[in-house]
Each structure stands twice: as structure tokens, then as C-alpha cells.
Amino acid sequence: MERMVRVEAVLDSWKTVRQDTAQAVLDMPDLDFQPTPDLMKFRDLAVHTLNAGHALAGLLLDGVDNMATPGFRERMSAYFLSVAPDADQQTIAAALTSAIADDDIRLRSQNAQFWSQIITRFDGQQVTRLEMLQFIKEHELTHRSQMFMYLRLKGIVPPTTRRKLAKK
């Protein structure tokens, strides 16, 4: 069976998404901005994105094959990176950038058998490790979109739009 999606393509795409996430953090003048009380603060979105991506990648790399177990969320916290509650833009952006660089190297070193192994996602779905990696990237895209909306609410053009406008 030949894979239709290449690991390298998913990792390259995730790195690009992460660069834009880090840039959004650098662009946001008020990390404590929260559009409504029921939504996360911008800072919390950034740190959640950092920790969720790094933890899920770490669990994959450590061979965890069942994420639908009691205490799974607590197990994830062992992979969280230490970010001070009042960390500034540069600190959070640097953590986002360095975490993806480290994870990328380790993820790229895995063989085809690793990526084709079926695991159980935390929602009980059976997926390959590559499909889980794609899910991790999609999770970050979701939160990056939220962060971009927060930027727009502050009158700031997100990095992806700035690039597109620069090409015109």
C-alpha cells in the first residue's frame, strides 16, 4: 500500500503554520486580549497551541498507541513546556519556534512503519500515526485562526494576508 500523503509534506506544512502562529504572537500588542469573557485570552491560545502540539508529538514519538485512556490529559502535561504566565511576545514566539524545530527533527527521523501504525486517538477513533500528525496540525490551524481573528479585532492584518498583499 502506497501512502498518498507524504510525512515531509505534512511536517513542512505544520512548520509554515507554526511560523505564522509565532508571528501572530509577535504582532499582538496585548497578549491578555480576550474578545469576550467566555473565550480564551490570546496568550492562553498561544500557550495552548504550543503545549498541545508539543505534547501530542511527544506522545507519538514515545510510542503511545492509545490516547483514549483515563488520565490522558494529565499524561500530556508531562510534555508541556514551561512558559511563565506573564511571558512576553518574544518568549512565547521563541518557544513556539524552538519546539517545532526540535519536534520536526525527531518526527522526520521515523520510518514508514512508524507512520503507518494504527493508534487510538483520545476520542476513540482509530488513525495512523501520520493521520494523527495531520490532526495535530489541523488543531493548530484552528487556534491560529482564532488568533488571527483576535488580531483583526485589534486592527492588525495577520501575517498570511500581509504576505498575500505583498505579492500584488
| Domains in the chain, CATH or no CATH each | 7-163 (1.20.120.450)
- pLDDT tens-digit readout, 102-136: 999 999 999 999 999 999 999 999 999 999 999 99
What local confidence, expressed as pLDDT, does residue 2 receive? 59
What local confidence, expressed as pLDDT, does residue 1 receive? 54
pLDDT (average), residues 45-73: 96
pLDDT (average), residues 82-92: 96
pTM of whole model > 0.85? yes
For the purposes of burial, counting CB atoms within 10 Å of the CB of 150, is it exposed (0-12), middle (13-18) or buried (19 or more)? Answer: buried
pLDDT-based confidence at 3, cuts 50/70/90?
low
